[in-house]
Structure 1
Amino acid sequence: MRSTVRRVSTRRSGARRHPGHGRRWAAALGVGALVVAGGGVLAGPAQALATASVPVDFPTHCIPPAIAGIPPIDGTTKAEITVDNAAPRVGDTVTVTYTVTEAAASNPVDLALPADIMTPTGKVTVGGAQSASVTVAGPKKNDPVPGKGVFPSFSMTGTFTVTAPGQITLSPGDYNIHTSYIMELDTPCTVTDPPAPVSETIIATDEGGQVNERAIRLGAASGPAGEAVTVTGSKFTPGAAVTLAGRAGDRQSADTATVTADGSGGFNGRLTVTDPATTGIVAYEGGSWDPAKGAGPQAYTVTGGGGGNPDGSQELKASVRAGTLSMVQDGDTVEMSAVDFGRGGASRGSLRTVTVEDYRGGPAGWSLTGKVTDFQGPGGAAIGASALGWTPACTTKAGSPSTCQAGSAGPVGSAGATLASAPDGTVTGGEFTVDARLALTVPAYTAPGAYSGVLTLTLT
């Protein structure tokens, strides 16, 4: 995680603007796959509070492949979430199955699709005592689909580790239908108004032991054999050597890579997956896979193959390289308006515009936060950090896959606040312009002179 520091100053007399120079900082990818959001043990037996899985339906926005020549589809998805353990203990691994009984999209082309060429991937939204987005993937298995016919029902599975006691809810999220026949095509479908309704609720109890909080996140849930997938980890031992490896069922594949955890226990590496039988990816410390010193498996499916190419054809391959998450600001100094001694009031100014560029091309969103120091003045006088408030604004560049969301208006303070963010999704990225109106509340009879504080922005 990298930060940018901006000095904000205010004077009791005339204001003067200092020109700044644009600067760029690369930012690390998002945090681990599972984050504790709070919650406690609910009263009564866990088994009595857990609810049975229920089918749900939700509005969905699907984008057919460009070759189909048809506009996006706004329809309804019918789905259900089930688990292998509805009353786990903290530290247990829960297997989640996301079944789409009726997809919002159908075969986008007139060409009939043969059996076993469809590979689904998606996300399950975890809420309640924990907050996470669980990657799920399904096998390349389907009944034949007629031209422009309805996609058959399909199931995807994944896992997550329980890290907090209490009620945990599971809702279906975005999904993607990949077909491998003559050419590789994707039909991504996103939840129109997330989160979708809760389909499954489980109750976790506290075992009182040490919880393995190591977590990994994949840049993609599927890809052709020979392609590298980005693996981001958190909560590993700082400075430890971490092995990234493919899993084919209960065995480890020959696909491995090694990274080193940074001072906070995080890492960002790439693993080239060549084994078509791979069903998941893990990361672990030590010489061999050990769930107590590792994270995963996160579901991963190898796509490609299928019916093969017709006679006389040539297969053409191209690639798009993933970039970075970064930000550029148009200056590093903000001069705010003066206020009068004895009267006090609001010293106002505008944040120097920040441009966020997300060129990673994966499913991860981003968050831009800020925190400020106390404003120091003459002779030891100071104005507290809590006196600075902002009203954020965020604009998304046309054509960006993600949509920027401005943070809430209110105090910034030393604890910090969110300036802007973009959510996780099946495909994310784009360019975003972030601004904010600033107001420093200056008490009456504050000692005359210049006051300055440092506003630190952090992009993750």
Structure 2
Amino acid sequence: MASSSRRRRWAATFGVAALAATAGGSLVLPGSALAAPAGASASAAVDFATHCVPPPIAGIPDIDGTTTAQISVDNATPKVGDTVTVTYKVVKPAAGNPVDLALPADIMTPTGKVQLGGAQSGSVTVAGPKKNDPVPGKAPFPSFSMTGTFKVTEAGAITLSPGDYNIHTSYIMELDTPCTVTNPPAPVSETVTATGAPTTNERSLQLSSASGKVGDSVTATGTKFTAGASVTVAGFANGAVTGDKATATADAQGAFSVALPVNDKATTGVVAYEGASWNADKGAGPAAYAVTDGGGPHPPGSLDQKLNTQVNAGELTMAQAGDAVAMDAVGFGKGGRSRGSLNTVTVQDFRGGAAGWSLTGKVTNFTGPGGASIDAGKLSWTPVCVDGADSPSHCAAGSPGAVGKDGATLASAPNQAFTGGQFTVDARLSLNVPAYTKPGAYSAVLTLTLT
């Protein structure tokens, strides 16, 4: 189970009530299907037995059902070497919403495989967008589409069959529901007929380093060249070879290795080719190469080491300082404002992309002794949001006013070219209690949702 710090939905309880969270959102499937690419071929919808494994937290048994799916392509008559776009549409998933709770929109991302057969074997990885319509409780899941590409390597009839698919949901926590073909392969839904093409140039070139100072040598290693051919290795700049050149002879397997001194400061790459001049049909590259500052060879006794690191994208998460809020008491016959402070919520946007976020809240009626209640619309808040140090994004507090059952925005950050950061969100709470409200303890659940 994912840790509580990764949950997307939290509930803060007033009075004596405890933290509340909704379960059962683990099986959401995408909403309305994507349209197939323009010019997509006609294809057949097929049915196949499917075994789906709900996340353990759902508390329901595995699902054995039937999936109806359809495979289509953007080019049914490609040539060898062409790239074909494949659309895998799940017209009718094997599972439905197993709970009474309605599931919200845009919380899942589907992925899957399309199996190739006939003239070409293998599989195509496909994925769909994070987009789905709301799913009512106990309702069938709507259809969804995933797309991917494959390169045609063989001439002839290539069959495409729907394969396994997985449903990843981001609702309360991150969960997966894998669905596998019970008796693979599934029936063929689409066939493309590939025709031959000129022999593909498989020559390749690798460099021992991606950069060096003026005068440094880089080792160039080539494969799949013509056996015994004379190969020229040269610097490359502004779309043409430079005066920096070296020659080698390909061995019986078409491989070679040679050191190339690089003196031209403008060099941006290295190429290798057969014949008297650079020709992409009988060459490889350009492989990227940069000339660094400080021309001339290394002084005696010095060496360079290239240092590499990586920054990995994280997730959008939130955490709260507590799960209960004690509000001021008011007197019977007087009523008035029962005030309190929201437990501080910390939002961390470590995705490092361009998407913003929104934190909203909604509240239930306050329930008290003997069925007495205070309407949810009488709760209002005054939000506050503070940016953490060096945060690329700037958060905006929601407008002061009623929260209610329909909900209101607590805080948000907009989409922009580069987003991210850590934010502290608070709010002053005020419940307008009618004067002659029945005495006793009242509580409600305020649910916060981060998207």
When normalised by structure 1's length, the TM-score is 0.41
Higher relative contact order (CA 8 A, sep 6+): 1
TM-score by structure 2 length? 0.42
- Greater strand share, structure number: 1
Larger radius of gyration: 2
